[in-house]
Chain A
């Protein structure tokens, strides 16, 4: 049974059977159906019988193992149950992605039926980036690699940046590959050139492509140099494999964007802070792409994007979003107006400084990355109700903060209370002498 019909039933390994209700769509590896199993609706991915590259049994066992171990995080639309083998094929069920989520592809292009999707805010975009990075971090921490990251694997809510990752059937433990290489334009150079099997390191290259395209839409390796009149397989190997060049490589300018195709790059490359441009320049440097230096780690991406999230605020002039750099006077990238320098929060341990502006939020990640928490907000900058020019930071965490004043006296700040942003005040966020920052006003 290569394809299923509406009304067909397939037996589940764990007992009972799933009934086909409708077809969602068909791809190279198989067809996805809407099914009913035990009174609930799921998506069933049913493979073409030639989809396994001769490793059918390993594929089946790997899926069973993954189902048993469970999803690394809620961001994964993880396989929940596997069918019995029937007529040379099988499938697995997973949750159906809910309304409001859009395919990553739709963020890059539109169609006649559907306009290109835009993030509702930079905050949502940055949250999506953080959610994707964290999902792969957790996946890798569990010893898995994804092996086939591409534009077809992600569903994102443009309003809030929530992410769901599908097609988790090639996810394999360390050292295992079930025959997949990946998709052209998303594969790491060493996979394009067949030097290695896909693994955690090649995932990290593809992750960098996903992140670049979330922010800048265009492809990081496609510019003047890599656009011959006719792209052949041999040339693809060169431009994405043996000799890739980043469009914004600081030293090699051969692959700069082609005028007329660079609208998004011109729009966005310049507005992000230097450290965001730098991390992309590093991720797509020759040394890192060709693995002479290590790939950018998920932790490093998280640090950069958490900093960016903390720096994303509202312009007091035009009320649109802008990024507040701590070190200098800012200029709103929407209205172009100069915004005076704000007070700053200077962290003791890793020299991070954050600008303190109204509604600015400090995340637990900014304070202490060892907590592995990407959700919790610990502090929020608020205006004094009597005098809006006076700013303070509200303790919205569950911890009592220890504030050290310039005269070395100490005061506790209970959750819910506010400390004014005064020069020289030192905040110990968890009262454990690890997460300490000084206010400079």
Chain B
């Protein structure tokens, strides 16, 4: 065997996509169904494409559900490669313990926990999904989390599902209201999960205008780019009979 046959893959930094999903009682029915199918499709089928032959980063995911308390859907041993996620449908019931979720996330955002890597890690991407208002002492939990350096540097984007979501709370989580997106229909939710995940974790050539930004600015930029992209695609799909604009206001 020649030395050329003994090469190993290039070392690369880990980038973890954290998904925090509200599975409280108010999410039951259509909403949790939509989240389940959107997450399953995005993570099992669409996202593996971005991690295939990726020299920029080793992209991994960790998924947490929070309702009355919180738990990790992905193995508690740590984030898994995108292609290795086995999706189990989430069930909705209980309260909205966002504070507990923040404290649990704070614990895992550590080089000794979920961000352990000899090749180092990029600041993570954190996506929060919620349809209502927290029921526990979320301010305390968030305050603790905000002291975490990984969290400070993370891209943080929140997706408000329907109009009942407490957007002010979500904006506190992301650090800016510009990084909160409201969705009213299943298709947009699906598109958003996919596009936000791809955008936030993608490494492409920078334009000159792209100077060093705060994590909040970066999060806003991702949101802006995704919204523009969805609008552009929408122009194309206007007349093809899709249910993009279907109203599911009776959630």
Is A292 part of the binding interface, using a Cβ–Cβ cutoff of 8 Å? no
Is B54 part of the binding interface, using a Cβ–Cβ cutoff of 8 Å? yes
Q: Is the CB of B119 within 8 A of A230?
A: no
Task: State in angstroms the CA–CA spacing of A137 and B212 once bound together.
Answer: 32
From B121, B207, B212, contact of A230 by CB (8 A): B121
Chain B interfacial positions (CB closer than 8 Å to A): 2-13, 48, 51-56, 83, 111, 115, 118-123, 149-150, 153, 202-213, 218, 225, 228-229, 232-233, 235-236
Q: Is the CB of A112 within 8 A of B56?
A: no
Q: Is the CB of A180 within 8 A of B111?
A: no
From B5, B8, B212, B232, contact of A2 by CB (8 A): B232
Bits for A34-50, please: 1 = Cβ < 8 Å to B, else 0: 00000000000000111
Task: State in angstroms the CA–CA spacing of A267 and B212 once bound together.
Answer: 37
Q: Is the CB of A119 within 8 A of B4?
A: yes
Is A195 part of the binding interface, using a Cβ–Cβ cutoff of 8 Å? no
Task: State in angstroms the CA–CA spacing of A264 and B12 once bound together.
Answer: 13
Q: Is the CB of A181 within 8 A of B232?
A: no
Q: How far, in Å, is A258 (CB) from chain B's closest CB?
A: 6
From A230, A263, A334, contact of B123 by CB (8 A): A230
What are the residues of chain A within 8 A of B6 when measuring CB–CB?
267
Q: How far, in Å, is B134 (CB) from chain A's closest CB?
A: 27
Task: State in angstroms the CA–CA spacing of A121 and B3 once bound together.
Answer: 10
Q: Which residue of A lies closest to B6 (CB)?
A: A267
Given known A-B contacts A217-B7, A232-B153, A103 and B13 have beta carbons under 8 A apart: no
Given known A-B contacts A3-B233, A118-B4, A233 and B55 have beta carbons under 8 A apart: no
Q: Is the CB of A231 within 8 A of B11?
A: no
Q: How far, in Å, is A184 (CB) from chain B's closest CB?
A: 6
Bits for A219-248, please: 1 = Cβ < 8 Å to B, else 0: 100100001111111100100000000000
Given known A-B contacts A5-B236, A109-B55, A118 and B204 have beta carbons under 8 A apart: no
Task: State in angstroms the CA–CA spacing of A29 and B206 once bound together.
Answer: 10
Chain A interfacial positions (CB closer than 8 Å to B): 1-3, 5, 27-29, 48-50, 53, 103, 105-106, 108-114, 116, 118-122, 125, 148, 150-151, 177, 179-185, 194, 197, 213, 217-219, 222, 227-234, 237, 258, 260-261, 263-264, 267-268, 271, 320-321, 333-334
Given known A-B contacts A112-B83, A116-B7, A231-B123, A260 and B118 have beta carbons under 8 A apart: yes
Q: Which residue of B lies closest to A219 (CB)?
A: B10
What are the residues of chain B within 8 A of A103 when measuring CB–CB?
53
Task: Offer 7 A-B interface pairs, CB within 8 angstroms, sorted by A.
Answer: A50-B228, A110-B9, A112-B83, A118-B5, A217-B7, A264-B8, A334-B3
Q: Is the CB of A2 within 8 A of B3?
A: no
Most buried by B among A111, A121, A321: A111
What are the residues of chain A within 8 A of B218 when measuring CB–CB?
233
**Once A and B bind, how many residue pairs between them come within 8 Å at the CB atom?**
152
What are the residues of chain B within 8 A of A321 when measuring CB–CB?
2
Given known A-B contacts A2-B233, A217-B10, A264-B7, A111 and B209 have beta carbons under 8 A apart: no
Which 3 residue pairs spanning A and B have beta carbons closest together? Answer: A2-B232, A28-B204, A111-B52
Task: State in angstroms the CA–CA spacing of A228 and B14 once bound together.
Answer: 12
Given known A-B contacts A230-B115, A231-B13, A231-B123, A267 and B204 have beta carbons under 8 A apart: no
What are the residues of chain A within 8 A of B7 when measuring CB–CB?
116, 118, 217, 264, 267
Task: State in angstroms the CA–CA spacing of A324 and B52 once bound together.
Answer: 38
Q: Is the CB of A229 within 8 A of B203?
A: no
Task: State in angstroms the CA–CA spacing of A229 and B110 once bound together.
Answer: 9
Q: How far, in Å, is B207 (CB) from chain A's closest CB?
A: 5
A interface SS class: loop
Most buried by A among B115, B120, B235: B120
Q: How far, in Å, is B124 (CB) from chain A's closest CB?
A: 9
Q: Is the CB of B232 within 8 A of A49?
A: yes
Q: Which residue of A lies closest to B8 (CB)?
A: A263
Q: Is the CB of A108 within 8 A of B55?
A: yes
Q: How far, in Å, is A186 (CB) from chain B's closest CB?
A: 9
Q: Which residue of B lies closest to A321 (CB)?
A: B2
Given known A-B contacts A108-B9, A181-B210, A228 and B120 have beta carbons under 8 A apart: yes
Q: Is the CB of A114 within 8 A of B52?
A: yes
Task: State in angstroms the CA–CA spacing of A258 and B54 once bound together.
Answer: 21
Q: Is the CB of A234 within 8 A of B212?
A: yes
Q: Which residue of B lies closest to A27 (CB)?
A: B204
Task: State in angstroms the CA–CA spacing of A48 and B120 once bound together.
Answer: 33
What are the residues of chain B within 8 A of A50 when measuring CB–CB?
225, 228
Q: How far, in Å, is B15 (CB) from chain A's closest CB?
A: 9
Q: Which residue of A lies closest to B10 (CB)?
A: A108
Q: How far, in Å, is A107 (CB) from chain B's closest CB?
A: 9
Q: Which residue of A lies closest to B232 (CB)?
A: A2
What are the residues of chain A within 8 A of B202 when measuring CB–CB?
28
Q: How far, in Å, is B94 (CB) from chain A's closest CB?
A: 33
Task: State in angstroms the CA–CA spacing of A333 and B149 once bound together.
Answer: 47
Task: State in angstroms the CA–CA spacing of A2 and B227 once bound together.
Answer: 13
Task: State in angstroms the CA–CA spacing of A125 and B121 once bound together.
Answer: 31
Task: State in angstroms the CA–CA spacing of A2 and B231 once bound together.
Answer: 9
What are the residues of chain A within 8 A of B210 when measuring CB–CB?
181
Q: How far, in Å, is B55 (CB) from chain A's closest CB?
A: 5
Q: Which residue of A lies closest to B152 (CB)?
A: A232
What are the residues of chain A within 8 A of B56 when measuring CB–CB?
184-185
Q: Which residue of B lies closest to A110 (CB)?
A: B9
What are the residues of chain B within 8 A of A232 when measuring CB–CB?
123, 153
What are the residues of chain B within 8 A of A179 when measuring CB–CB?
207-209
Q: Is the CB of A111 within 8 A of B119?
A: no
Q: Is the CB of A229 within 8 A of B51?
A: no
Given known A-B contacts A179-B209, A181-B207, A231-B121, A267 and B9 have beta carbons under 8 A apart: no
Q: Is the CB of B8 within 8 A of A180?
A: no
Most buried by B among A120, A182, A232: A232
Task: State in angstroms the CA–CA spacing of A229 and B148 once bound together.
Answer: 13
